[in-house]
Structure formats: C-alpha cells, structure tokens
Chain A
C-alpha cells in the first residue's frame, strides 16, 4: 500500500491509486469526488479483502461446525476486535454490529429510551444533529411522554450551552445525544462540557461519531460517553455495516432491540432468555463480509495514519476556504479550518444548490446539494439547502481547483 508509515504527511496522490473509482472519466473529465461525507470511496484493499473472504471463507457464523463456519466466525470476530481497538473500547463484547450509525442510534433510542424514559424525563439533543440522532429521540421521547429538548446554535453556529441550568432545574435529564463532528458544517465539537453536565444529571451520553470516526481519533474512554455510533461506509468500508459501542454494564441491563435468531439463550413456549453480549443485540444473520470489509477499512486507515488523515483534511479545508472565498457571491458556513473535519458548506448567490450541483456534475465534480439530513440546521441558516464539498484521505487540491472552476461556470450560466 502506498502510504506513509508514521505521522508524517500522507501522500494523497499516491493513496488515490488505491481507489479504482478514480480510474474513469465522468462526462469526459477527471472525477473530482467531493462527497466523501455523504459516503466515502473504497480502496482496492477493502474490495479485495471482501472478495477473498467470499471466495475462501464464507459461511454463516457462530453455528456452523464446519471449517468454513469457523473461518467466517473468525473473520467476523476479528473485525469486532479491530473496531474495538479503533474506538479504544474496553471490551470486545461491547461492540455491536449494526447496519449503520442510524441503526445504532435507533437501537439505543428504542432499547434504552423505550424502557427508561417517562413523564418528567428529558432527552437533550442539539440543533446541529443529523436526523439520525434527532428523529429517533424525538419519536421515543414523545411516545413515552418525555420531553424532547434541543440546545440551539448561537449566531456563530456553535451549540449554545447557556440554557443547561434551566433545563436541569425543570427536568430529569435522562439522555444527552449529540454528534462529535457535524456532517453539515464539519464542526468538531468540544464535548467535554456536555459530557460533564450529563454525568451531573445522571444521564446517559450518546455520541454520534459517524462523521468523526473517518477523520480523527475517536476514543470512547477519553470522550467519557456511554454509547457511540459509527458507519462503515463513511470510512472506506462497505455500506450495510456499522457499529455501536455501549458501556458493558448498560448494555447488559438493556432489553434487546431486534428479536429472533442468534440473540437468544433459550427459547421455550413460556419464556425466552437473551444471549450474552454482543449477541443479544445481533438478531439474524449478520452482514458478515461487510463486517470483514469494515475491519479491512480500519487496517487501511490505521496504515495511512488517523492523525495524518486529520492533518491532511485541515489543510484541504484551509485551501478550499481560501479558494472558494475568492468567488463573488459565495457564502461559506461553519467554523475556521482548525475546528473542522473535511467539510465545507456554501451557497453561491441565490442559485439553488441543485442547479449548482448539476452543472458541477457536468464538470466532473461530485458534491452534495440538499439539506444533508439536517433540516433544523438549514432552518437556522435560513436556507432550504446548501452545497457541501467534503474531503477525505484521497482528496487532492486539484479537485478543489476543479470545483472552483466549475463554480465559475455556474455563475456564467446563471449570470
């Protein structure tokens, strides 16, 4: 693999060769893929690992006596250990494989929230949440008669903590749920004040790290959270696989989420008992090869160096903010480069992002245009949608140049 092996700068031009997606022209032009916060591209190492797994080691896990069943189980459990180490979780059994971060957050909302929330209780989220960490809590809180509260953003689009005392006075706060990195603005949150406050309230702290884990070191013990959700597809792994980390003692006390095969200890007509962790939360056949692929993706990211990836993205964001800032009529949203993962949201005059994105597409540039599953934030920004360019370890400055050229074309078409 063409990567540096220590904390020196990563060589994005060299890494790019690992990604087959770039071996094509889009509308006759080189592909500038600036939509990695939506979903990342996959390196050959991950694709090959999954193919080899299917070709040599595939069978169902945990119940086959034959050698393929053993290999497949070893593959799945090996991936679990990689995820554990990746988020610095104390124990492997605390890692639950799910479809994606959304499913992880639904698991916590339904299985924990469903049995622990009631009248007088409150769930606290922020205005900067992805819908996946907003809608499940809104739904479960209201269904259980609990309050659903949202910490607003201030004028600089930072979470306003000034209302915490009042919330604590009026409610029994049971859940505090927030993201570590905003998928819309790229803001890297300082969660320490909120985790401390959650502890004081006796609340559980749920961290949506779907956008953080691909870009920076995520450590569940340093964060002092109780749950953490990640998605494989945003970090060079396949779609259809994600992971939930939960504090062991809490997971043990929880009711299951999905029920059926594999998650049981014994089933009788009179009563069913639940399996041990993590199996209690993994009903049905797992996405086995996908989990294996997520493990391969973690190997790939670790080889590139998480710190090097983070530094690379800060550089790209600084470069992008500078170049985009030269374009007349542009509005840039979000914090300064050093407080951002590789995300730049913007609007170009009053041109709708869908029109911007469509013209950019013809220029070979892929960005996201829309509300980024953050309608509360869009409402706050006073827009229906934004354009979002997002970067990853394979992103090179030339792609940002291509974006800027494309935006000049957009201006001409809509002049």
Chain B
C-alpha cells in the first residue's frame, strides 16, 4: 500500500471523511461558489468576519467532489481561521499545498486549489476589491 499512501496520506483521508468546517453559514459576510468543470467538483464557501469586519471569525464550506478538493478545503478552513481577509485574499497557494503535502499532477492541482480560489473570490467580492488576474480558470457563480 505504500505507493498509495504517498498519494492519499492519512491526514488527507481524515479531512475527506471528517471535514472540518462543513456546513452553511446563514447571513455570511462573504460567500462564493466554485466549480471545477473538468471533474465536476463543487465548493461553496461562507465566511463570517469578526467585529472589526476584517478578521475571519468563521469559515464553512459545502459541496461535493474528490478527496483532494474536499480535504484541501477542509484544511483551508483551519488554516485561515483568525487571519485577516486582506491577508487571505492574497494567500500564496504554496502554503496550502505544503499542508496537503502530496505530489499533485496538474489536473489534481486544480482540485486542490478549488476551495482556496473560491474563498479568495468570496473575500474580494465582500471587500469590493478587484479579482487578481488569472485567479483560477474555474467556473464561477
């Protein structure tokens, strides 16, 4: 099983089977839906800001998709908790990829960053800041 463990580390499977922050936030301060049209992964992200209107107080996500997309989004919700919207809106994807910690083919890379891209879009929309170019070639709603 070793070669498969390299692809699907225990922590990935754990996040996939027991996703953190899974659910919907009614009255979210920021939200967005993202889809990966290549494989049909779907993620919706909901963010609540703290009293300062800037600190990420709570993040939830819903959706369906492959283990990589769902586990990466689950990990993301833990990673951004308590950080500022401005910081997360320009978060380097490498930080998330390090956390995921498995080699990803170009196709699977799109799965891995779906949640992050959707979160960034939610934050930019909420703050009224322009979306960076090439933020992701995923389908947006």
A residues neighboring B (CB under 8 Å): 27, 351-355, 358-359, 362, 369-371, 375, 378, 384-385, 409, 412-414
Contact = CB atoms under 8 A, between A and B. Distances in A.
B1 A355 contact: no
Interface of B: 1, 3-4, 7-8, 13, 38-42, 64-68, 107-108, 111
Contact of A352 (B1, B3, B67): B67
Contacts of B39: 352-354, 369-371, 384-385
B34 to A, nearest CB: 13
Given A370-B40, A384-B41, A352 B65 contact: yes
A362 B94 CA distance: 25
Nearest to A385: B40
Given A370-B39, A385-B39, A385-B40, A354 B68 contact: yes
Contacts of A412: 1
Contacts of A369: 39
Contact of A413 (B8, B42, B64, B107): B8
Nearest to A28: B3
B64 A384 contact: yes
B42 A384 contact: yes
30 contacts: A27-B3, A352-B41, A352-B65, A353-B39, A353-B66, A354-B65, A354-B68, A354-B111, A355-B8, A355-B66, A355-B67, A358-B108, A359-B4, A359-B7, A362-B7, A369-B39, A370-B38, A371-B39, A371-B40, A378-B40, A384-B39, A384-B40, A384-B64, A384-B65, A385-B40, A409-B1, A409-B4, A412-B1, A413-B4, A413-B13
B106 to A, nearest CB: 13
Nearest to B41: A384
B69 to A, nearest CB: 8
A384 B111 CA distance: 14
Nearest to A410: B4
Contacts of A371: 39-40
Given A384-B64, A413-B1, A358 B7 contact: yes
Closest 8 CB pairs of A and B: A384-B40, A352-B66, A354-B66, A385-B40, A355-B67, A354-B39, A355-B66, A413-B4
